[in-house]
Structure 1
């Protein structure tokens, strides 16, 4: 759930990653050091968060269902080297005189309003810049009648410091997924079919589709991506979606 110094994952130089890095720098330099990255599942939000952690030395925490305010504070304290009894209280009393640390909170849609309010306090009073990453479920908390009044201060701190992720276009899918996996693919119809099969550029599904194509190619000693390979991999994707919809 907490990632610091974890094994490096491949980070693509996508537009979303570049925007996330620029946003993180803006948040670090802001008087109100809170920003957010939102978007549909599978559009590269977590990869962007890992890029910020890898390239900017940020702390990264993946929230989990039921995470409490105390668990959050203990986790952040540990990442900052604050150990032992009373670590959470010492974090809250850290003050903003320290060099500002950057905390990336992935899966922010799993944070309760109390946890989100605690993150707002850390940004205001404890010298910690915060970058929240979540799906539309996270954004919805700022509009719901029950939670909106409780998150007004957090929303005001975020302001315009936002990035919204999206699916890759066909050229990005080729550059960031297909070419690294298969090398140059001259057949434009194959590129288009691949893009369509991963729901027109869902990054996560594009990576999975490429992996299935490579598995089929290896099993059949095929050296390059062909329409037949892509058709078989597409059937695998369709079955996967069907199983997921039945779950």
Structure 2
């Protein structure tokens, strides 16, 4: 989270104001994006499948408070000298190269600093034979302004999930079992597993996290994914 906030400051001050946050699903990218949006009171767009260049421009213009017909064209004419605003685009893996290039243009010419947030599907666009040549300019603008999220290790899972929600736990095997139960530190699944543990504890009037509670919660998670699959 600290790296993400530092990235936002860097992007706002950069000559090429565009950066990215990438990582596997469930590792806190969206949370980082919301933290940036809250700290810097910036614009935020969550992309959807099939979003077009025009739809992105209209959405960004609306976030800026523009109204009426022709907002996309007026946004593109905003000009480099306009007051710089920060735009966070989540789910960037759903963007076509044309939409990504449009965001690059906003950063270059329209006073919009941009942070792109996406999974490995987004990152892959910069190396695939079909799209790599089309995104060379965007990649060069991003440069080193990148943050990568990852799964938590056992100590981080304990510090950021287990201890805040369940208090001090000295049973190292229990901590390891919890870490393994959330796919070895996937933050999203760790929070879901913690929530299920709390439900089991409340239903059985148990005050502390125990191996039996964790086992029940892990089984619920496994059954849920089996059903979803």
Q: Normalised by the shorter chain, which TM-score bucket?
A: over 0.9
Are positions 1:217 and 2:201 aligned together? yes
Are positions 1:137 and 2:137 aligned together? no
Matching residue of 2:30: 46
CA deviations on 1:110-130 (whole Å, 9 max, x unpaired) are 001110010000000000000
Q: Structure 1 residue aligned with 2:175, among 172, 177, 191?
A: 191
Q: Which runs of 5+ in 1 are unaligned?
A: 1-16
Tell me how many residue pairs correspond in the alignment.
229
Are positions 1:177 and 2:155 aligned together? no
Secondary structure of the 2:117 match is strand
* Alpha-carbon distance, 1:181 to partner: 1.6
Q: Which runs of 5+ in 2 are unaligned?
A: none
Q: Structure 1 residue aligned with 2:98, among 108, 111, 114?
A: 114
TM-score, normalized by length of structure 2? 0.97
Are positions 1:167 and 2:137 aligned together? no
Q: Structure 2 residue aligned with 1:237, among 204, 221, 224?
A: 221
Q: Distance in 1 between matches of 2:34 and 2:158?
A: 22
Q: Distance in 2 between matches of 1:174 and 1:54?
A: 26
Are positions 1:55 and 2:39 aligned together? yes
Aligned residue runs from structure 1 range 84-163, under 5 A: 84-163=68-147
Q: Distance in 2 between matches of 1:65 and 1:92?
A: 23
TM-score, normalized by length of structure 1? 0.90
Across the aligned residues of Structure 1 and Structure 2, the Cα RMSD in angstroms comes to 1.0
Q: Distance in 2 between matches of 1:203 and 1:217?
A: 21
Matching residue of 1:78: 62
Q: Distance in 1 between matches of 2:225 and 2:22?
A: 23
Aligned residue runs from structure 1 range 9-48, under 5 A: 17-48=1-32
* Alpha-carbon distance, 1:241 to partner: 3.0
* Alpha-carbon distance, 1:175 to partner: 1.6
Q: Distance in 2 between matches of 1:169 and 1:58?
A: 31
Secondary structure of the 1:102 match is strand
* Alpha-carbon distance, 1:59 to partner: 1.1
* Alpha-carbon distance, 1:186 to partner: 2.5
